[in-house]
Every structure is written in structure tokens, then in C-alpha cells.
Chains A and B, each alone.
Chain A
Amino acid sequence: MKTRKYYRSLRFKITVGLLLAVVAILAISSYLRYVSFRELLIGSLALSAASPEQIIQAQLAAYVRGRLILSAVSVAVIVIISELMMSEMVIGRLGRFLRAVKQVGRGNLEARVTVEGDDEIAELAEAFNRMTEELQREAEKLSTLNTLAVTLGQSLDLEDVMRTALDEVLELMGLGAGWINVQDEQGEKSRIVASRGLPQAAALAHAHCVWNRGICADVLDSGQPRVFRGERQHPCPASEHLEEEGLVFHACLPLKSKGRVLGVMSLAGVPSTNPWMFAEDSLDTLTAIGRQIGMAIESASLYEELHQKEVLRRQLLEREITLREKERKRIARELHDQTGQRLTSIIMTLGLLEEPISTPEAQRHVQDLRNMAAQVLKEIRNVALHLRPSVLDDLGLLAALRHYLKGYQNRYRLLVDFQALGLDGKRLPPDVETALFRVTQQALTNVARHAQAQHVTVLLEDRGASVMLIVEDDGRGFDADRVMNTHPHEGNLGLYCMRERASLLGGTFTIESTPGTGTTVFVRIPLEGIESDGREDSTAGGG
């Protein structure tokens, strides 16, 4: 709008200026003509004796008036014509130019200005068109890279990512074939992680291609992309086979991340070349594409590494937990079977000794010994119980929990409402029983230590395909989301342990708590797919 107003006022000013200038020129020239005409007239009159000066004066005046009117009319006509020409030559072209600029501004990079004449405006139009073309290429490049980035971000599986990346690049460039080689960690061997439209023979040839010769090696060493503009050469052992398929080798790009070449992408297609590939600046784009794919390779391999470490961590943890339980069980049994039985025997023998001994002092000693032995036996029983309650192995989770809760309630003076649903007489897989027992123990210990609760509920429910445990208190609660999102430390290690226990069995652990609302722990463990053969080995007995 502004520009239009500006043009209108400009046009007005130009018109007025021209008008004034033409009027001034005509007025001056008329006056000059009048002066010379009068001199001529006076001269001729002087020759033919005297005539009345008034007549001459009047004739002269009339002539000048007529002249002036004629001049003014012709000036006006000239001005109008020139104005129309100006308008067409400058303003109209500028207007069309303006429309094109606006279209480009709106994102239509196809817009071009028609070049007319050879003046400055035409030059400007040409420059504008060149700039727009440039812009269009840049935009295409950016959108290529953007599409690629989006594609690469969709998965973390190396082969998956490489396949989609290759498809994307081939489609964007209109090429028919391509393949990606990735180096192994030592940088000694490469393997094809993705290929498209690659003839079997070429793939074989390429697979046999020694990594350290041929075009791949060049690209690997230099880290620079190579583009072949139709030269008849065999940069790669695969290219002969490509030719049989009517394809030619187009380019070979390094896939780099942090300056390290991790692999190579090779591109081929039909010989009728793809203009995009041969644009002057295509190298830049190819380098950028290579860098993006390189980074994707790096993230995929880092992810893979992380994944493997996680698997290893879980295996170690599982082993650690199993071993610990096994060891605890072993020690508990040992205490029961060996130490316990010997002490029992000692108690019995001392009981027998008591009567035949005559002196009261000796009798008292025997009595003391007997009591001491009974005390030790009790303590051993408690140690064994603490290590691993044999009732868990012998009679199952339900019995073990009932027993544990009895002791817990006495110890902490806290009433626990325990309900078991769908579990009567049933045994769960030993791993599940142990995990649920330990989680309950941990959860209830937390309640006793931190919650200041009035009511505690333990719910255990067998739902056929899964078993669910809920431990809930109405204590002071805490910010569970925050605590579970911080790294494991002294304060939340117990929570992490519970979560690990559940997750090792493919289950879930959820804790809901906010300050003031109490705390609820939910554990769900799937039972399907786990063998339920009841109890563990019940050999090596002993009462």
C-alpha cells in the first residue's frame, strides 16, 4: 500500500515538474521570437515610411496571445503522452516486479520476473531471477537435509536407520541404486548395512572388494565426497556389474561423525543424469548428508552399546540377587541343620546331667549351661529367619508373609491389614515368591522408618495371568516422582531395589505418593510364561 502511494505521488510530482518546465521554455522562446519579430517589423516599417504605431502594437499583441494558447495546448498533449509512456515503461514494470517480489516473499520460489528491454530495470530483473533460483536450490537442499534428519531420528536400530536414510536419499535425488558400508569398530572390515537396487553380482563384488583399495578407500582416507560426472571409469569393483544393469556410479560419500569416517554411502543410477547431483554446490549438500548419516550411525552404535550394557547389567543383577538368596538360604539351613541340631543335643545331654549331680553348685552350673544353649539356639533361629525365612521355601509366600507381619507388628506396634485374594493353597514360582516377599519387607521397613502411619495395608492378589502386590500406608508421604527421578543414592536405594526386583521378573513397580497423602506401592508380576512347579527343592531337611 505504501509503495503504491509513493508511486502515485512520485508520478504527480514528475507530471507537475515537466509541465512547469515546458511552460517556462515555451514562454521564453515566445518572448525571444516576439522581440526579434518586432525588430524586423520596425525595420521594415522604417523603410516604408511611417505607419501608426498603435496598429502594430495591437497586431503584435494578438499574435503573441495566439502563440501562447497554442503552446500551452501542445505542451499539455506532450506531457500527457510522455506521462503515459513513463507510466508504462517504469511504473508498470516496477509493479510487475513488485508482484514477483511479493510472491517470493510468500515462499513461492518458482516466481520469476519477465525480462524486457535492456535498461537498468531489466538488469535488476535478471539479478532478481538469479537470486531466486539460488534461493530455490538452497531451500531444496535444506528440505532434503531436514527430511533426512527427521527420518534418521525415527529409529535407533542401525540397519533400520540406514535403510530408511538410503531410501530417502535415493528418492530425493531420483537415483535408482545405492548402498551403505559401515566400518567395524577396529576400522578393518566393512559390511553392507543397507542396499537398494544393487544387483546381486554387484553386491557380491562389493562384498569381496577389499576395504583398503578402490574408491571407498579414497573416500575413507580423504573424508571428501567424490562425484562422477559420467566419466567412463571403474571406481568401484561393483561398477562393472552396475553397467550391466544399465546403471552408472554417481557418487561416493563419506559418513562422518566428529571428524571420523564411519562408513561410505555409494549412489548409482541411470546414466541420464540427475541435474541435482551435478549442480556446482552439490558437493556441499552431499557432505552435509554424509555428516547427518554419520551422526546417525554414531548414535545407533552408542545406543547399541548402551543397550548391551543394560542387558549385561540386568544379567549381573539377576545373578547377584539369585546368588545372594541362595547363599542366605544355604547359611540359614546350615544354622538350622548343623548348629541347631548340635545345640539341641547339648541341651538334652545337659538336661540329663542335672539330676544325677549332687552338689547344688554344680547343678546350678549345668542349669546355666543349659539355658545358655537354649538362648543360643533361639538366637540362631532368629539369625536364620532374618537371612531367609525357611517358611517361604517350605510353606510359601502367604505363610511367610503372615509370619513376617506378625513379627513386624510386634516390633513396630503398627497394625497391618493383610489380605490375600485368590492365593489359597497356591504356590507361585519361587522367584516370584522371593521377589514379592522381599519387596513387601522393604516397603514395610520404609513405612516403619519414615511414614508415621496409622494404617497399613498389604494386599496380595493372584489374578491368574499375573500377581499383584499393594502396600499402602496413610502416613506423611513424600514426593515420589522427584525421588524416583533422581539418581540412586542412600535415600532412595530401597525404592530402586524394589523396582529392579519387579523388572527382573518382567513386572512393573509403581509408587504413588505426595506429601501428606500417604504412600502406595504397586507391584505387578506376570505369571504366564513362568514355570510354576511349586516349591523349590525341599531336600536337606532338618527340624
Chain B
Amino acid sequence: MAEKIRLLVVDDHPVVRAGLRMLLSAQSDMEVVGEASNGATAVERALELKPDVVVMDLKMGGMDGLAATREIVGRLSQTKVVVLTMHSDEEYLRQALDAGATGYVLKEAVDTEIAVAIRVVQRGEVFLYPSFTRVLVGDLIQTEEMDDSSEQDGYGLLSDREKEVLRLVALGDTNREIAERLFLSVRTVETYRARLMEKLNLKSRGELVRYALRKGIRPDELGDS
């Protein structure tokens, strides 16, 4: 029989630790070699035990799971980390992956997925909770769509007034502020804005700002005037 996967279980809730120990010990190819209830202890125990996989809760008192993950992965090249959390928020996933975790399991699926995840990361692969994969792919597609939009350039078609209105809208001025600055009525500003957006084929303020940034019409970083 092959060597068992040596595990370190990190969670600040004793009931969860106990459950995990029970669940994982039932797997014939796994062995829980240690437990920790917070990030700092987790790093200590990991350095001491050099486990194959650490099952890590994301949020704990004191040093949090993210920092502990970063530390462990940074110092023990052979040790993998599976994050076990209640948070389905994609932001936590990004952070966890950024910290060096290669597995991400939600607590609601712990019984069916944790053992699978441990085996997958042990092989050097990545295990993500299935619904996340869709999220990440969707992100890629969306980002590409955005970058493709409105490259046609009608800047030369704009009048001086329209250019000025474009710049001020991109800076985040209200229509009233623009009207006061240019000695126009609010209505006229609205008209200029509608016309320039049509000429530049811009659909929203977001596109307008992006356009202005790309063309250098407004700086990337604004200090308050």
C-alpha cells in the first residue's frame, strides 16, 4: 500500500476539526497528523510536521488563513493547501489562489469534495469548487468583450466644445458643474454629451471614461484640484 497522505487540519472551531478528523481518518489513504486552531499555530505545526496537505480555514482569530497559507506555501515547497471555507465569494477565491492555495472547497460540500480535493492537489493539480470554474471563465470572456468595444475613432469629428464636455464628463463633473464652467445651460451640456457619444459610438459613461483614459484625455490618476 502506498504511503498515506499526511494532513494538517486548521480550523478555529473544535467541532469542525473533530468532524474533519473523523471524515479524513475514514479515508484509507489519509492520515491526520496534526491540528491547529489559528494561523500562527498552523505555520508552526506545518514547519514542524511538514504535512503533504494542509486543510485551511480562511478566516480565524489572530493571523488569518490567507496569511498562513502564503507563509506555508512560501516556506514548504512540497506542502499543498486546500482552503475549506463557507465563503462562496469569488473574491475570497482570488485571494486564496493568490496566496498559493491550489484547492478550494466549500463547507456545504465538505463531505463529498474534501477527500477528492486533497487527492487532486496532492497530485500537483488544482481543485476548485465546480461553480467557480464557470465564474472564472465567464470573467475571461467578459473582459475580452469589453476590450474589443468601440475602437473606431471619431475624435476628429468633435467640435472644440464637445471635446471640452467629453473631458469634463470623463473627469466626473456633474452636468450642472460643466454648464457653469462653460457658461452653458444644463440642457445644452446634455445635448453636447449625447452628440459626442454618438459620434464616438459610446454607449455609457463607463465607455466614455475608458475612451478618455485610452486617448489620454484625462490622466489615469487624479489628485484633487
A: residues with CB less than 8 A from B are 336-337, 340-345, 347-352, 355, 370, 374, 377-378, 381, 385, 389-391, 394-395, 399-400, 402-403, 406, 417-419, 421-422, 454-459, 461, 463-466, 468, 470, 472, 474, 510, 512, 514, 517, 520, 522, 538-543
Give chain A nearest CB distance to B87 CB in angstroms: 7
* List of B residues within 8 angstroms of A378 by Cβ: 108
Q: Which of B41-49, B70-78, B117-125, B206-214 contacts A (4 or more CB under 8 A)?
A: B206-214
* List of B residues within 8 angstroms of A418 by Cβ: 206
Question: Chain B, 20-62, contact with A by CB distance < 8 Å: what is the 0/1 string?
Answer: 1011001000000000000000000000000000000111111
Question: Given the known A-B contacts A422-B222, A466-B224, are A542 and B57 also in contact in the complex, defined by CB atoms under 8 Å?
Answer: yes
Question: Given the known A-B contacts A337-B13, A351-B23, A542-B13, are A391 and B209 also in contact in the complex, defined by CB atoms under 8 Å?
Answer: no
A341 and B13: CB pair below 8 A?
Answer: yes
B107 and A377: CB pair below 8 A?
Answer: yes
* List of A residues within 8 angstroms of B103 by Cβ: none
Interface residues of B in 73-100 (CB under 8 A from A): 83-92, 95
Name 27 interchain pairs, CB-CB below 8 A, sorted by A: A344-B19, A344-B108, A347-B108, A348-B19, A350-B111, A351-B111, A352-B26, A355-B26, A374-B108, A381-B87, A391-B92, A402-B90, A421-B220, A421-B221, A455-B204, A458-B206, A459-B206, A459-B209, A463-B223, A464-B222, A472-B205, A512-B175, A522-B174, A538-B64, A539-B61, A541-B12, A543-B107
Q: Report the bound CA distance from A399 to B91 in whole Å.
A: 6
Q: Report the bound CA distance from A461 to B20 in whole Å.
A: 44
* List of A residues within 8 angstroms of B84 by Cβ: 543
Give chain B nearest CB distance to A436 CB in angstroms: 14
Q: Considering only CB atoms, which chain A residue lies closest to B88 in the complex?
A: A381
Q: Report the bound CA distance from A457 to B170 in whole Å.
A: 12
Give chain A nearest CB distance to B80 CB in angstroms: 18
Q: Report the bound CA distance from A385 to B12 in whole Å.
A: 21
B162 within 8 A of A: no
* List of B residues within 8 angstroms of A406 by Cβ: 90, 135
Total inter-chain residue pairs, C-beta < 8 Å:
171
In terms of DSSP, what is the predominant structure of the interface of chain A? mixed
Question: Given the known A-B contacts A348-B19, A466-B224, A520-B205, are A403 and B90 also in contact in the complex, defined by CB atoms under 8 Å?
Answer: yes
Q: Considering only CB atoms, which chain A residue lies closest to B193 in the complex?
A: A517
* List of A residues within 8 angstroms of B204 by Cβ: 417, 455-457, 472, 474
* List of B residues within 8 angstroms of A520 by Cβ: 174-175, 205
What 10 additional pairs, Cβ within 8 angstroms, besides A347-B108, A541-B62? A341-B13, A342-B15, A378-B108, A390-B59, A457-B205, A458-B206, A474-B204, A512-B175, A543-B59, A543-B107
B190 within 8 A of A: yes
Residue in A344, A350, A464 with the greatest tally of chain B CB atoms within 10 Å: A344
From A399, A464, A542, B12 is in contact (CB under 8 Å) with A542
Interface residues on B, range: 35 or more
Question: Given the known A-B contacts A403-B89, A474-B204, A543-B86, are A348 and B59 also in contact in the complex, defined by CB atoms under 8 Å?
Answer: no
* List of B residues within 8 angstroms of A468 by Cβ: 172
* List of B residues within 8 angstroms of A348 by Cβ: 16, 19-20, 22-23, 110-111
B60 and A541: CB pair below 8 A?
Answer: yes
Q: Considering only CB atoms, which chain A residue lies closest to B207 in the complex?
A: A417
Question: Given the known A-B contacts A344-B110, A352-B26, A403-B89, are A464 and B205 also in contact in the complex, defined by CB atoms under 8 Å?
Answer: no
A340 and B86: CB pair below 8 A?
Answer: yes
A402 and B86: CB pair below 8 A?
Answer: no
A394 and B59: CB pair below 8 A?
Answer: yes
* List of B residues within 8 angstroms of A474 by Cβ: 203-204
* List of A residues within 8 angstroms of B209 by Cβ: 419, 457, 459
A341 and B210: CB pair below 8 A?
Answer: no
B90 and A377: CB pair below 8 A?
Answer: no
Question: Chain B, 185-202, contact with A by CB distance < 8 Å: what is the 0/1 string?
Answer: 000001000000000000
* List of B residues within 8 angstroms of A466 by Cβ: 224
B109 within 8 A of A: yes
B12 and A510: CB pair below 8 A?
Answer: no
B215 within 8 A of A: no
Give chain A nearest CB distance to B35 CB in angstroms: 14
Q: Considering only CB atoms, which chain A residue lies closest to B146 in the complex?
A: A417
* List of A residues within 8 angstroms of B18 by Cβ: 345
Give chain A nearest CB distance to B29 CB in angstroms: 15
B172 and A461: CB pair below 8 A?
Answer: yes
* List of A residues within 8 angstroms of B22 by Cβ: 348-349, 352
Give chain B nearest CB distance to A343 CB in angstroms: 8
Q: Report the bound CA distance from A342 to B207 in whole Å.
A: 47
* List of B residues within 8 angstroms of A402 by Cβ: 90-91
A457 and B174: CB pair below 8 A?
Answer: no
B4 within 8 A of A: no
B220 and A417: CB pair below 8 A?
Answer: no
A463 and B107: CB pair below 8 A?
Answer: no
Q: Report the bound CA distance from A472 to B83 in whole Å.
A: 38
Q: Report the bound CA distance from A463 to B173 in whole Å.
A: 13
Give chain B nearest CB distance to A170 CB in angstroms: 43
B85 and A543: CB pair below 8 A?
Answer: yes
From B26, B87, B223, A543 is in contact (CB under 8 Å) with B87
A374 and B109: CB pair below 8 A?
Answer: yes
Q: Report the bound CA distance from A539 to B92 in whole Å.
A: 17
From B23, B174, B203, A510 is in contact (CB under 8 Å) with B174
From A347, A454, A512, A517, B110 is in contact (CB under 8 Å) with A347
Give chain B nearest CB distance to A368 CB in angstroms: 14
Q: Report the bound CA distance from A336 to B89 in whole Å.
A: 14
* List of A residues within 8 angstroms of B161 by Cβ: none
Give chain A nearest CB distance to B95 CB in angstroms: 6
